[in-house]
Amino acid sequence: MSKILITYFGTYGTTEKFAKNIAEITGGDLFEIEPVITYDKDTANYEGLAEYAKKERENDTRPEIKQLPNVSEYDYIFIGYPMWWYTYPQIIRTLIEGVDLSGKIIIPFNTHEGSGDGGSYRELQEALPNSKVLIGLPIRGQNLKDYDQKGNIKEWLDELKIDWSE
């Protein structure tokens, strides 16, 4: 069996739903990226969070993660996040710098409200020259809330032509 890890970060449960759908389809293990300082507590509302996240980006911060995943035993590592200011949240930088992803196959996915992946999958490949980043899937958060997306997710995974049972 190929070992699959699905790591994800999010604040409002949208990306989590996407991650859980992937886990149901692939049988992979789920791992939530939890910040030491939780965003909702510090910022209280969406506008507050937007401002807070913008500052994190401008200052190129590396928000601390409670516990990093042990990636060594996995072949495929999904990395999921909400679009934050047209790219991945800074905490994803903490993740990819904090664990050794060399030689791993990375599968990005994200939720958004209009920006798609914002070019973040390409950025991820640039940040991880020793990993292979496959084609990711962006899904609009509202669509995840309103409709069952498992068919679309399965179609995307099938197109990656990965034999999960290898």
Ligand X SMILES: Cc1cc2nc3c(=O)[nH]c(=O)nc-3n(C[C@H](O)[C@H](O)[C@H](O)COP(=O)(O)O)c2cc1C
Interface ranges with ligand X (CB under 6 A)? 10-15, 46, 49-50, 53, 82-86, 111-115, 141
Instruction: Write the DSSP string, 31-80.
Output: EE--BSS-HHHHH-SHHHHHHHHHHHHHTT----BSS----TT-SEEEEE
Is residue 6 a contact partner of residue 19, using CB atoms and an 8 Å limit? Answer: yes
Residue closer to ligand X by CB (options 88, 131) is: 88
Nearest distance in Å: CB 132, ligand X = 25
Token readout for 131 is: 């990993």
Is residue 155 a contact partner of residue 21, using CB atoms and an 8 Å limit? Answer: no
Residue closer to ligand X by CB (options 13, 27) is: 13
Residue closer to ligand X by CB (options 104, 112) is: 112
Label residue 60 left, alpha or beta by phi (over 0 means left) and psi (-120 to 50 means alpha): left
Nearest distance in Å: CB 110, ligand X = 7
Is residue 26 a contact partner of residue 109, using CB atoms and an 8 Å limit? Answer: no
Nearest distance in Å: CB 22, ligand X = 13
Residue closer to ligand X by CB (options 44, 50) is: 50
Nearest distance in Å: CB 152, ligand X = 15
Closest residue to ligand X, judged by C-beta, is 10
- DSSP code for 28: P
Nearest distance in Å: CB 120, ligand X = 10
Residue closer to ligand X by CB (options 28, 82) is: 82
